[in-house]
Every structure is written in C-alpha cells, then in structure tokens.
Amino acid sequence: MKLLRLTRWLAWGGVAAVGFVLLATTGGWFVTDGPLGRPRVATGPSSLAIGGPFSLTDHRGRAVTERDFSGRPMAIFFGFTHCPDVCPTALSDMTGFMEALGPDADRLHWLFVSVDAERDTPQAMAEYLQAFDPRIVGLSGTEAQIADAARSFRVYYRRVPLEGGSYTMDHSASVFLLDASGRFAGTIDHKETERVALEKLRMLVGRG
C-alpha cells in the first residue's frame, strides 16, 4: 500500500481545486479527523443534504436505483474510465481498503459512478473495472441521469475540451460514505492516510 499512497499524493495534486469546490458546496465534511488523527463524527448543516435517489445502469447492463443498494453502508466514488490518474488511484485504494477490511468489506456496497455519459457505456465500465476488486459496481447512465445523481451528492464535474477534438472531465475527488439507511456519514479525502480511511470504514460497518 505504500506505493498506492505515494501514487495518490502525486495524482491528486492536479485536482486539489476540485476538493475546495466540494468543500464550499457542502459546507464541510460530516466526518472529520479528531485528536491524534482519529476519526470522529461531527454534526453540521450539510449532514442531511448529501446523497439521495438515483437511477442508473450498472456495468452488467441492469437498471438500478439507490434502493438496490439499501440495507448496507455504501462507499461511492465519482469519476470516469478515461481518467489518466486520479480515478485509477482512487479505485486502487478502494481495492486495498477492501483487502485490509477482510470479511467486513462484504458488509458495504462499493460503487464507481461515471460522470462521462458519452464514453462510459456499461461495456466500457465492465472492461475498466477488471483491473480492480470485482465487488466494485460500476454505474453509468444518460447525461440527465448522471446529472441527477451528481446533484444528489453535491458532486462537481464538468467537461473540459482538449486539443484534437477530445475531452477530459474535471470532477470531485472524494469517496462518499453513506450508512445502511442511506444517510450521509462522511468522506474519505485524498489527503488522508490509509489508517484513518480504514478507521472510518470500520466505524461505518460498526467495527470501529
């Protein structure tokens, strides 16, 4: 995991501004680092405003909603398959977290939601996710469906044109945590250590 942490520090530098946009939008994180770096639950006006209904298609081609993932906590990351570094780093970290959690990893839903409706078909998502833990579920949809899901989670994203007619995507870069009832429970920020991230996840499944 040391290599993953180093890669994370290098890759996330290019999207630091995105994190500030999300911070300003939500009014702060629900779960923050307490004394000695230990996670604690903090209350705030944003705690009930993140998360909500969505209607998307999973990487197997099945139409799903948030109800298909009820009953278990969720760890959700928004990104896209053509992402050069941030998204594969985040999904590699998620894979590492799942390995470290052992059987407790099965007590969560792990979701990767695309913000690139044009390129991220279910087939593209399925091929991309082969490089990561098979328990990660890829979700994509139409532009309207993705916009609705992003709005529910206060996720920032935008299309950025590149030379030659191609494009990339800017997007929020945190893992969102929801409890088993679908309530927002915090985030895993890209600057956090593996230890802090795992403590948050264990708290989420009641083992912290």
The pLDDT tens digits of the residues spanning 106-123 come to 999 999 999 999 999 999
Residue 167 has pLDDT above 70, yes or no: yes
Q: Which residues lie across from 110 on neighbouring strands?
A: 75, 136
Query: What is the span of the domain harbouring residue 68?
Result: 2-204
User: Rounded CA gap, 153 and 79, in Å?
Assistant: 13
Residue 7 has pLDDT above 80, yes or no: no
Binding residue numbers for Cu cation = 83, 87, 171
User: Rounded CA gap, 176 and 44, in Å?
Assistant: 16
* Residue of 207 and 58 predicted with greater confidence: 58
Residue 48 has pLDDT above 60, yes or no: no
**CATH code where residue 191 lies:** 3.40.30.10
Residue 156 gets which letter from DSSP? -
Q: What is the mean pLDDT of residues 16-26?
A: 39
**Domains identified in the chain, total number:** 1
pLDDT for the residue numbered 203: 95
72, 182 contact by CB (below 8 A): no
User: Rounded CA gap, 74 and 108, in Å?
Assistant: 5
pLDDT for the residue numbered 49: 78
- H-type helices in the chain, by residue range? 2-12, 16-26, 86-101, 122-129, 143-152, 194-204
- Residue-wise pLDDT for 140-155, tens only, equals 999 999 999 999 999 9
Residue 9 has pLDDT above 50, yes or no: no
Q: What is the mean pLDDT of residues 84-101?
A: 96
pLDDT for the residue numbered 207: 60
pLDDT for the residue numbered 147: 97
Q: What is the mean pLDDT of residues 33-56?
A: 60
Binding residue numbers = 83, 87, 171
What is the average pLDDT value for the chain, to the nearest integer?
83
Q: What is the mean pLDDT of residues 40-53?
A: 61
User: Rounded CA gap, 200 and 185, in Å?
Assistant: 9
